[in-house]
Amino acid sequence: MTTAKVKQPSYLNFDSDNYAWTPDIDYRRQPELYRVGKGEQGVLVCEPYKSEIGPHWRFRTPQIAKESSEQIFQLFESYLKAGDFVGADMARKYLQMGYTRSRRYANYKGGKKYDETDNYRQLERGTGEAGKAASAGIFYERWKAAEANEQYARLKKQWKDERG
C-alpha cells in the first residue's frame, strides 16, 4: 500500500527573513532595491505602490472587477508614462492577483483551497462562486494587456537583465 504525499501550501514554510521585499523600503525612492520576482511576489509589501494601488483592488462582482481592473490599468499606464517601471510592474501584479484570487474563489468555497484542520488536505474544487469566474476573466484580460504592452515588456527585460 502506498500513501500519497500531501502537498501543503507554500505559506506554511515561508522564510520571511530571506524574502526579497520589505515594507520598510520606499521603492519609489530606492527603485534599485526592487526585484521583479515571480508572479505576484512583493505585491502586498512594496510601498508606496501597495498604498496607491491596493485600495482599487476589488473583485467581489464582475461589475466591481471591471471598475477595479480599469482603475489599476490606468495606474499601470500612468506609471509607464512617468517612466516608473516599479509602479507599472506592481500594477501588473495587482491585475494578475485579481485574476488568481478571483479564480481561487470561483474554484473553492470561501476561497479556501486547503483544510487546515485536516493536515492541509486540498479541498474539493468546484464548490466556489460562479460570479468570481467572470471577475477572473475581466482581470485576466487587463493583466495580459499589461504584459503585452511593448514599453512594459522592454523595461521588464532590461530591469531583469540589470537587477533581477
- Nearest partner of 84 among 142, 147, 151, judged by Cα: 151
CA Rg, the chain, in Å?
Answer: 17
Cell of 57: 483592488
Mean pLDDT for 132-152 is 97
Mean pLDDT for 101-118 is 84
pLDDT above 60 (res 2):
no
Mean pLDDT for 34-63 is 94
Q: How far apart are CA 50 and CA 120, in angstroms?
A: 29
Q: What is the pLDDT of residue 6?
A: 59
> How many CB atoms are closer than 10 A to CB 22?
13
User: Residues 13-36: pLDDT tens digits?
Assistant: 656 677 678 889 999 999 999 999
Kindly state the percentage of the chain with pLDDT values over 70. Answer: 88
